[in-house]
Amino acid sequence: DSGVTQTPKHLITATGQRVTLRCSPRSGDLSVYWYQQSLDQGLQFLIQYYNGEERAKGNILERFSAQQFPDLHSELNLSSLELGDSALYFCASSAASGGYNEQFFGPGTRLTVL
């Protein structure tokens, strides 16, 4: 158990809908990262937050957004969903940002868009 929790574990929805994925980092970790794992794209970095502020952006679509709250949990919002958004979404956390800070991964949320 990494100490990172993600809810829900599975999510099934329809095209055009909006969903919210939730992540609670390990106790004391200030950085949260979101990654998408799909069969065609592999594991891709989406976005990073550090202590409530956006720190880095990767291949995140404009239809996707995220935020980190004062209690350090994070939410990833996916809107106007398309079939191609079906993927496993991982959250990871680390103590700080920059340099080498080991990232601990949650179990993921599997999103299926029908």
Partner 1 sequence: GDSVTQMEGPVTLSEEAFLTINCTYTATGYPSLFWYVQYPGEGLQLLLKATKADDKGSNKGFEATYRKETTSFHLEKGSVQVSDSAVYFCALILVGGSQGNLIFGKGTKLSVKP
Amino acid at residue number 28: G
Residues touching partner 1, count (CB under 8 A): 29
- Which x/- pattern, by CB under 8 A, does the window 69-88 give for partner 1? --------------------
CB of 86 to partner 1, least distance (A): 17
Site residues (CB under 8 A) for partner 1, limited to 41-60: 42-45, 48, 55-56, 58
Cβ density class 50-86: b for 16+ within 10 Å, e for less: beeeebeeeebeeebebebeeebbbbbebeebeeebb
| Among 21, 33, 49, 87, interactor with partner 1 by CB under 8 A | 33
- 22 belongs to the binding site for partner 1 (CB under 8 A): no
